[in-house]
Copies of this chain bind each other. A is one copy, B any other.
Amino acid sequence: MKHKIGILGFGTVGQGLAEILLSKKEELKSKYGYEFDIVAVGDFKFGNVYNANGLDIPSMLKEASVGKKFSKDITDWDNINLIKNSDTSVWCELTFTDLVNGGPAVDHVKTALKAGKHIVTSNKGPAALCYPEMKKIADENNCKFMIEGTVVAGTPVINLADGPLAGCKITKIRGILNGTTNYMLTEMEKGMPYDEVLKVAQSKGYAEADPTGDVEGYDARGKVTILANIVMGAGIKITDVPCEGITKITPKDIEKAKSQNKRWKLIGSVELTENGVDASVKPEMIDISHPLAGVSGATNALTFTTDLLGDVTIVGPGAGKIETGFSILTDLIKIHRG
């Protein structure tokens, strides 16, 4: 069966995914028997396009690279109608993340699942704000709601917990889930105060003009909520998770950690308790010998504490065009394998 792929959001991740799918077309067929056409793309900047026989992705990538609107296969359908009316079997929801209301992504996901079309997404909105509801709709419609890309880009954490760690009970998860703040903390150790480091991070494109989402820990909190709900079935809301960012860390704090052979890290944490889970995001001083202490820059890492294996730590990229594009690919393959 040839998979009929739709992509919503043709920004960095959408383009990264399209590039990977193009370049790996033969490899995916020979290695996994995975065959596909990208038949629909919806993007608020480049326009909505549809061709049941497959879109001209190379041209679209070229147009997008110079900021031009798509010129072929243009459709009048808005996103919702594109999802509903197109002959598609799976939708990749890659529009912007809104951690307050979920943004249009929630409607996109619901529409696709209700139409019997799988969802693969790196958008933290629907996953962090309403995973149980989305999962229920997916189950009712015999569809998958796949979200590896919502946490730590393509570094496999959700699929690791669900697959190779199956049989273990995961009792605790602790991790460095935000690359921007991890980069900033690494730089602060070299002696620069918070305000200066932030400016450098912004000039390098690591931090946004409004850095709140990263530095106040909100991004990490979204990921903690997703992990708590998916891996531990916690059923918690994002607002249930106490959250403290890195804005109050002073050069004096940094020195204190150093003197104790420790290092500040912004740690997202979920732990099973008798009454449910304890989840939080806060800066912690980590002993320098711990695997998480050695993780620097934009790299992310996550330690699962399990009943049978003790601690298992995975370290990998936490962001990036191709890295996040891969997170979508791996879930597409997982759906294909059934």
Binding site for B on A (CB under 8 A): 20, 24, 27-28, 32, 148, 153-156, 159-160, 163-169, 289, 291, 293-296, 308-317, 322-323, 325-326, 329-330, 332-334, 337-338
Contacts and interface: CB of A to CB of B under 8 A. Distances in A.
B165 A330 contact: yes
Contact of A316 (B27, B167, B312, B338): B312
Contact of A309 (B32, B154, B166): B154
B326 A168 contact: yes
A158 to B, nearest CB: 8
Contact of A156 (B27, B28, B165, B317): B165
A308 B323 contact: yes
Contact of A291 (B294, B311, B337): B294
Given A20-B167, A156-B312, A313-B313, 11 more contacts: A148-B164, A155-B312, A163-B163, A164-B330, A167-B326, A309-B316, A309-B323, A309-B326, A310-B317, A311-B316, A314-B315
Contacts of A313: 313-316
Q: Which secondary structure dominates where chain A touches chain B?
A: mixed
Contacts of A326: 167-168, 308-309
Given A289-B294, A294-B289, A294-B291, A167 B312 contact: no
Contacts of A153: 309
A20 B322 CA distance: 40
A293 B315 CA distance: 14
B316 A32 contact: no
23 contacts: A20-B167, A24-B167, A32-B166, A148-B164, A154-B308, A154-B309, A155-B309, A155-B312, A156-B165, A159-B164, A163-B164, A163-B334, A167-B326, A168-B326, A291-B294, A291-B295, A294-B294, A309-B316, A310-B323, A311-B315, A312-B314, A312-B315, A313-B314
